[in-house]
Amino acid sequence: MYDFRAIEKKWQEYYAKEKPFNIDLEKAERPFYNLMMFPYPSAAGLHIGNMFSFIGSDVYGRFMKLKGYDVFEPIGFDAFGIHSENYALKVGKHPAELTPKSIEYFREEQLKKIGNIFDWNSEAITSSPEYYKWTQWIFIQLFKNGLAEKRSSNVNWCPSCKTVLADEQVIDGRCERCNSEVEKREMSQWFFKITEYAEKLLSNLEKLDWTDTTKNLQRAWIGKSSGATISFEVSGMNEKIDVFTTRPDTIFGVTYIVVAPEYGLVSKLITPSTLQAFENFKEEVKNMDLATRTSISRPKNGIFTGSYAVHPLTGEELPIWIGDYVLAEYGTGAVMAVPAHDERDYVFAKKYGLEIKQVIECDPSQLPYTEKGKMINSGKYSDMLSADFIERIDEVSESIKGSVNYHLHDWCISRQRYWGPPIPIVYCDKCGTIPVPEDQLPVTLPNTDDYIPDGSGKSPLAKNEEFVNTICPVCGGPARRETDVSDNFLDSAWYYLRYLSPNDNSAPFDDGLVEKWCPVDMYIGGNEHATLHLMYSRFLSMALHDMGFLPFEEPFTSFRGHGLIIKDGEKMSKSKGNIVNPNEYFESHGVDTLRTYLMFMGTFLEGGDFRDSGMDAMRRFLNRVWDIATMPEGRSSTELKIKMSETVEKVDYSVKNIKPNTAIAAIMEFVNEASKEVSIERQLVIDMAKLLSPFAPFVCEEIYSMKGGKKKTILDDGFPYGYEKYASMAKTELPVQITGKMRGKVVLPQNASQEEAMEAVMADEKLSKMLEGKSIRKIIYVQDKIINIII
């Protein structure tokens, strides 16, 4: 048993005083940028999920430092935005007053205690004027390059948060944060044109070391779809309706056209007799969210406009309908309806008695049949395969052109809230929309008591005359400021650049340091940010790259998203009263135990189940480590050195592959073996401590210094080495027989399984030749002795 409280306090103080992890960014020779997602200072303290994330990332950073890299591991606070503001509103404090207090607590009582190798010189706080000056600067660069635009759109409005929400913040028609039902409002907003980068955001994914899960989330969000745009003339009008379809091969099955209620041409298509019905219908649809409108299960509603369109290939007249299931924002806002082969069209056609015409071969009872296949009832194209038709789509008709669409939509930046960077734009009656000159940044967020959102659809800043009224930077006449603040996701889209020079007042980031340290080598954080935050950061770095500000397009070379923690098999929540408060465990079990247990309780990438019994067991394990460290110094057996060689290999492999739990399991095996001996060599103790130090830094620093370690920290002493000769001893040369005849040998780790043995056999050129084309009847395997393959 060791006094973990005393030891942890000692090393926390040592880290605070010596600052061994602040690095010289200019001089460092082997730069490795280890980034973790910074927290929202929006609660009473960091929760266990934050800890899990930070420690997982720090394990990687410590490991790379042990491997000799100059690891830059910064931290900061994502302190602007609705999370922090809502928390402040909830506890009835001004966010400008509460946020610094939260940060102070996070930093001093939590982050400085958990043993991470943070470089505290690099702290960045997004709500500080030094930071948001540059967030505004970025806005202006995008504006100047045509990537920021103000336009009117129908947006999601949360009546309780009193702000606009992005589509992805609306879950089943409700606000992700407060669960209120979301409404639709027509508002003028600032957008970043992320859609201009859709293809690059998609194709660049190939180059990244990210998991398929994360890449697929990104792909799904971008939602590329290939197909064709087809033009339909409107009968008796000099107008046409373009539709986007992924299934031009069903063109002969079109029985009506259906457009969104918001479709531009609607007012012309509507005949006087249908006008009233249309007005009512539009009102009904207005507040429906995307998911409801497009769901297959819900009945589809619509009205007939009274107008007709002409089929470009058959000349047939097709009724034009307005339908709630067509979205104005996607494609062209108009659809060619093929009820026989599209589920939503089918439901709609059934409801309104519209014709259903089968044009893909299948049993008619299977309609709507949505697969591709053989075209039928399609004029001269009958008998052609869908795929062949689609491939030659550009040859079919003048009216049909191959085209691509993306579900990705532009990034709405405006927030009608207080706690964020004011959007740095001025409106002048004479000069129009003018960006604030860069030497006048930041546009400071006024310190006012009138900061509570009121539901007017305007930011509280709009009521602040002193803020609003300004002078036009161009003509010097009276002008008004934009009163919305920018989205919190903009703050966090570029923080990794600011960490390199957080106090530089002359530039958003230091070109030299960015060149040297970026892109980020390893980025670790929660899967919940794997879609949007990463997408926005990627977009921004691409845009800054194209403007000549950054030498790279992709900000994060490697990314790993981790899972969630549950408690005793259940989701943590205030109502269940099962929230794990990390600080309590600092006291009861110690930081080292908490860190090691968090990394052991499950797989980091998937998350795990936190149990107090597990914490107790981990405490006992660290005590056993201590017992080994304090054993009499003396000779160790060859077996133990062989064990160490295996442990070094396993820890190396596991940590590299973000499998901290198997690294810890390997160290546990070593500790088991070591405890069977009566004495132990000093170097084995030091190396055990090194391998464990990413997980349990404090006790390992203590062991290292107790054993005479001379470096500033255990990590500076380098990864364990010199066990190669034992590694070869841990291997078996396994004789291989084929049907009883000796045919060769393969080299295997000791205690290899039959599968591993067979893998080694098949990897051997000579042996695998002998087995080629033969069916194996039986395998007789005696571990570490022999394998006999009967063919």
In DSSP terms, 155 is beta-bridged to 185
Comparing C-alpha atoms, which of 81, 74, 181, 177 is closest to residue 117?
A: 74
Name the binder of 431 from Zn ion, ligand ANZ, none, CB < 5-8 A by kind: Zn ion
Check residue 189 for interaction with ligand ANZ (CB under 6 A). Answer: no
Check residue 522 for interaction with ligand ANZ (CB under 6 A). Answer: no
Handedness of CA 569, 571, 575, 580 (dihedral sign): positive
Contacts of 237 (CB under 8 A, 6+ apart): 268, 307
Check residue 28 for interaction with Zn ion (CB under 5 A). Answer: no
Contacts of 427 (CB under 8 A, 6+ apart): 433, 434, 479, 480, 481, 482
Check residue 292 for interaction with ligand ANZ (CB under 6 A). Answer: no
CB atoms within 10 A of CB 3: 12
Which amino acid would we find at residue 559? F
- State whether residue 81 is helix, strand or coil: coil
Binding residue for ligand ANZ (CB under 6 A) from 41, 302, 331, 502?
331
Q: How far is the CB of 150 from Zn ion (least distance, A)?
A: 17
Distance between CA 131 and CA 137 in Å, rounded?
A: 10
Q: How far is the CB of 329 from ligand ANZ (least distance, A)?
A: 7
Q: How far is the CB of 294 from ligand ANZ (least distance, A)?
A: 6
Check residue 255 for interaction with ligand ANZ (CB under 6 A). Answer: no
Handedness of CA 138, 143, 146, 148 (dihedral sign): positive
Name the binder of 142 from Zn ion, ligand ANZ, none, CB < 5-8 A by kind: none
Contacts of 758 (CB under 8 A, 6+ apart): 779, 787
Q: Specify the length of the chain in residues.
A: 791
Handedness of CA 243, 245, 251, 257 (dihedral sign): negative
Q: How far is the CB of 423 from Zn ion (least distance, A)?
A: 18
By beta-carbon proximity to ligand ANZ, the closer residue of 345 and 510 is: 345
By beta-carbon proximity to ligand ANZ, the closer residue of 370 and 739 is: 370
Distance between CA 218 and CA 62 in Å, rounded?
A: 29
Q: Are 305 and 271 in contact (CB under 8 A)?
A: yes
Residues 424-443 that bind Zn ion (CB under 5 A): 428, 430-431
Check residue 695 for interaction with ligand ANZ (CB under 6 A). Answer: no
Candidate ranges 320-328, 445-453, 558-566, 725-733; the one touching ligand ANZ (CB under 6 A): 320-328
By beta-carbon proximity to Zn ion, the closer residue of 428 and 757 is: 428
574 labeled part of a ligand binding site: yes
Name the binder of 525 from Zn ion, ligand ANZ, none, CB < 5-8 A by kind: none
By beta-carbon proximity to ligand ANZ, the closer residue of 407 and 624 is: 407
Q: How far is the CB of 325 from ligand ANZ (least distance, A)?
A: 6
Handedness of CA 574, 39, 411, 336 (dihedral sign): negative
By beta-carbon proximity to ligand ANZ, the closer residue of 81 and 331 is: 331
Q: Are 602 and 661 in contact (CB under 8 A)?
A: yes
In DSSP terms, 520 is beta-bridged to 556
Q: Is 42 left (phi over 0), alpha (psi -120 to 50) or beta?
A: alpha
Interface mask (CB under 6 A) for ligand ANZ, residues 334-373, using x and -?
-xx-x--xx---------------------------x---
Q: How many residues bind ligand ANZ (CB under 6 A)?
A: 19
Binding residue for Zn ion (CB under 5 A) from 28, 290, 474, 631?
474
Query: What's 359's DSSP letter?
Result: -
Q: How many residues bind Zn ion (CB under 5 A)?
A: 6
Contacts of 124 (CB under 8 A, 6+ apart): 38, 74, 76, 77, 131, 495, 498, 499, 502
Check residue 422 for interaction with ligand ANZ (CB under 6 A). Answer: no
Q: How far is the CB of 149 from Zn ion (least distance, A)?
A: 20
Q: Are 214 and 535 in contact (CB under 8 A)?
A: no
The residue written with tokens 């669409």 in the block is 405
Q: How far is the CB of 212 from ligand ANZ (least distance, A)?
A: 21
Q: Is 519 left (phi over 0), alpha (psi -120 to 50) or beta?
A: beta
Q: How far is the CB of 295 from ligand ANZ (least distance, A)?
A: 12
Check residue 261 for interaction with ligand ANZ (CB under 6 A). Answer: no
Candidate ranges 37-45, 161-169, 332-340, 480-488; the one touching ligand ANZ (CB under 6 A): 332-340
List phi, psi (to 5°) of 15: -60, -40
Q: How far is the CB of 151 from Zn ion (least distance, A)?
A: 21
The binding site consists of 574
The binding site for ATP consists of 574
The binding site for Zn ion (CB under 5 A) comprises 428, 430-431, 472, 474-475
The binding site for ligand ANZ (CB under 6 A) comprises 225, 244-247, 250, 325-327, 330-331, 333, 335-336, 338, 341-342, 370, 405
